[in-house]
Structures are given as C-alpha cells and as structure tokens.
Amino acid sequence: MAETKRMTIREALSQALREEMYRDETVFIMGEEVGVWGGTYAVTRGFYDEFGEKRVRDTPIAEMAIVGAGVGAAMAGLRPVSELMTINFAFLALDAIVNHAAKIHSMFGGQFKVPLTIRTTTGGGRQLGATHSHSPEIIFAHFPGLYVCCPAMADDAYGMIKTAIRNDNPVMVIEHSTLYQTRGEVPLDQDYLVPVGESRIVREGKDVTLVSFSKGVHWCLEAADILAKEGIEAEIVDLRWLRPLDTSKFIESFKKTNRMVVVEEGLPQFGVGAEITARVMEEAFDWMDAPIKRVTAEDVPLPYSREIEQMALPSAEKVVKAVKEVL
C-alpha cells in the first residue's frame, strides 16, 4: 500500500496539477486569475513563476471563451485545464460545454477527441447571494459525452484531477468551495487515479443507507456519529461521480439496510435524489421497508443572510431527522 501524507484538499489539487504538468508538457491551465494572482482559491499559487505564461494563462472574464478555447486546444492535441471561477459562471459557457465538448467525439464519428478538464467550484454557505451560490451539478450530469466528478475527500481530489487530465473525454471536476481546508490522507503515488464512474463506501452500517457526494458526504458522516450514539448504524455511499453514475454500491447497500436517505445540496426538483430514488425503485423495490427520504436545499434562491442561508441548506441535523423518519 502506498505511503500517504496528510494534506488539505487545496494542497492535494495543487500537487496533482503540478505533477501532471511536469509529466506531460501538453497540459496547460487557463482561466480568470489562475496566473499572476494564483487562483481564486490559491490552488495554482506559484504556477505562473514555475511554468511561465505559455502554460498558465490568465484570461479575460469570458467563460464561453475559456471553455471554447479549451475545446479547440483539446481537439488540436493539447490537454487543457479550463478553470471557471465558480459553477455559477458555467452557465455562460453552456454552449461550449454541452454542444461542443460533450458532443464532438460522437458527432465526428470518433475522429476527434476532447481531452479537456474543466475545474470549477460549487456550493453555498459563504454568504455570496443567490446568483453565486448554486449547486447545479445535476445539470451537467444530464448530458452524455461529459464526465462529472465531485470530490469530497483529499485523496479523491488528488486522484480525480489526474484521472480527468489523462482521460480522452471532457471531464468536469466540481469542487466544493467550503471544503478546500478539509484534510485527509493522500497517497504519495504520482499515478494514483480514481476510476471513472466508481463510487465507494466511506462508512459501513446495517440500519440505513445514506447516499451523497461532495459536501453532503460530510453532513452524512457527522449525522452517522450522532446516530451511532443512539445505536443506529448508518452506511454511507459517496457517489464521487454523477456521470457515469455507479448504481452498484448503493443498490447493494440498500438490499442490506432496506432503508435510504439521499443527501444533496442541490434543489429538490429533478435532482440527484430523484434519480437515485428512481434507480432503487427499478432495481431493488422488493427490498424496500420504508419510503426513501431526500435531504436537499430548500426550494428557494439561497438567501444572503447567514442565519437564513444556513436554514436553507442541508445539515447533519436534517439528515438525522430524515433517518429517524425512515426508521
């Protein structure tokens, strides 16, 4: 087993990017403030001096251009990393992401590949107002041809960036803005990759299955600690990838516990929870002992006020309440 080092998610991302840039000279980074400023969340701090302006390119505030240029560069044989400051601004690049990056390989009969990595941040909880606090990961996971991953742990952040850069398909790596300081053990292995479309069990239990991803995994872990004090053992499945979606582990877990709560920061309508619930109904209905519960953000534009914003977001307490309802 590889030796590990404890580091933050920010440090894991930075180390992975740096290693991939040294490993493959066709890898370059572009986006707003990624160069001289060192990145909005300091992930690329020092890269401009280390690799130069040719490979760490500051761009205008133009998300369509950041991704569009990335698509073209990828088609021409490079492996660009297009950074979007937040996922809220990815809406401005939807045409490049959905109509071009995701579809070119198929529409050209496999003659072109688009090895493009799109890094962006998601999530509320930082008092940035309704237009800067979306969690719309499910929108991008809707489209075939585009891979979507959402790291919750430092080792996944490290491995997913490497997987994305080395993959010949466009991959969105969606990082939660409040998790950058979260620490974890990261393998000291420059070839450590997270398999595309593979979820994992992060805690074993027998009474209820909690399914989540990104920040939701941490709410689930906190809730599981609270429930364990009352003798309730929750099993937690971290989806990790929203596309391709791995159904095997949460279906297997549900067949063991017969009860499920799905936790996401997204909105309740047409969300990840709805998809997971449908899959369980189709594949494991006979094992169901209670209706599946969903814990989501409230169905409102996220408020600016800190107290009201926290009320609108999921929490460990809301997960505990949902678990007790299904039990």
Residues involved in catalysis: 63, 132
| Contact predicate 251/201, CB 8 Å | no
Token pair belonging to 144: 């075939």
Helix (H) or strand (E) holding 28: strand 27-31
Per-residue tokens: 96 = 């490049």
Segments of 59-170 assigned E as strands: 79-84, 117-122, 147-149
Query: What b/e sequence results for 50-82 when a residue is b if at least 16 CB atoms lie within 10 Å of its CB, and e otherwise?
Result: ebeeebbbebeeebebbbbbbbebbbeebbbbb
CA atoms within 13 A on the CB side of 130: 9
Residues listed for the chain? 327
Round to whole Å and give the CA distance between 300 and 170.
Answer: 31
Tokens of 107: 């529409």
Tell me the angle at which helices 316-326 and 215-228 cross, rounded to the nearest 10 degrees.
60
What's the token pair of residue 146?
């585009």
Residue 313: CB atoms within 10 A of its CB come to 21
